[in-house]
Homo-oligomer: A and B are copies of this chain.
Amino acid sequence: MPPKKQQSVKTFDYSGLEKGMRLQVESDGKYYAGEVVTVSKSAGRSKAPVKVSYVGYTGYDEWVGGDRLRSKALQVSTAEAGGFRHNIKAYYTMPQVPNPLLVDIFAREKGVDLVALEKTVDLPSLENRKGDSQAKNPAGQVPYLELRDGTIIAESIAICEYLEEAKPSPPLIGTTPKQRAVARMWQRRMEEHFVYPCFNGFRFATAHPDYPEKSGGLAAFKDFFKERATPENGCALVPEAYKGLREWSVNKLKWLEALKKDSKDDFVCGKRLTVVDIQMYTTIKFMGAAGEPCLEEMKKLAWLSAWYDRMDARPHVKAAIEHSKGLLW
């Protein structure tokens, strides 16, 4: 059976419309100048809650819905097939770096189309650390969401939680409080002791005189974070820590391997794919390509290697990797 064609169902937010506002109203296939007479909040009028008058014509006032109106004050959301109703205006990202890749895979596995909402932030030119982007997300990273009302949601895992709430199925965190709690526990365990030491080991290594000749790594990243992880941005570089942090991240992989090697679990959280698998995969994928030791060390661990191959083979993962080409692959 071929996949169902994506159906687009519009939902309308009428809260921006006010009495007296000018707009365009469709009638028999043509748009006329109109004016808002009133906006009803009654449930009975929910399909056609706007009473309009036609400018220049009396006696034709009519209740209409968003499908027959054109106005900048009328907010339209698109509900994709699968019931994803969102209020996201834009998804700011640069697909070639780890956190966008995490959110991108998460969204694809959920059947959420973020690509349609993408606006690129140019990290190499520091666009994320100045002007409009910095004002929107003062922490300075990508990705982040801008909602229709202007709210900014940054931090990848917060974005994933938001998408999970907007479209609960298929669940990548969980369907019950208990399931969600167990997934969050695993996500945090592996983040604090694997993902963060891995990221920081990378950042700090690039600032060390060893980099890249003696430490391993790619010449392109030398001093990449010097103007990024600055005190003004609430950060610091601790070059002397790079070896210790790399060791820490590898120690946690070995810890996980010891817990999992005799299990029949396909995923970190047990039988089901969750956000922690996606976060770990994107970290190992990117950092391995950047010459950090996590990928090579992981290959010595049987359960983790098999898990990584399973992740690599997932169609949505492949699609996200294809979409993120251009920097390290």
Contacts and interface: CB of A to CB of B under 8 A. Distances in A.
- Residue among A196, A197, A231, A238 with the most chain B CB within 10 A? A238
A248 interface: yes
Contacts of A184: 155, 157-158, 161
Contact of A252 (B177, B178, B235): B235
A234 interface: yes
A162 interface: yes
Interface string A169-208: 0000000011011101101110011101100000000000
Nearest to A161: B184
A151 B252 CA distance: 22
B244 A232 contact: no
A53 B276 CA distance: 49
Nearest to A178: B151
A172 B211 CA distance: 44
A245 B238 contact: yes
B193 A196 contact: no
Contacts of A152: 185
Contacts of A193: 139, 234-235
Contact of A189 (B139, B178, B231): B139
Contacts of A123: none
Given A232-B255, A255-B234, A159 B188 contact: no
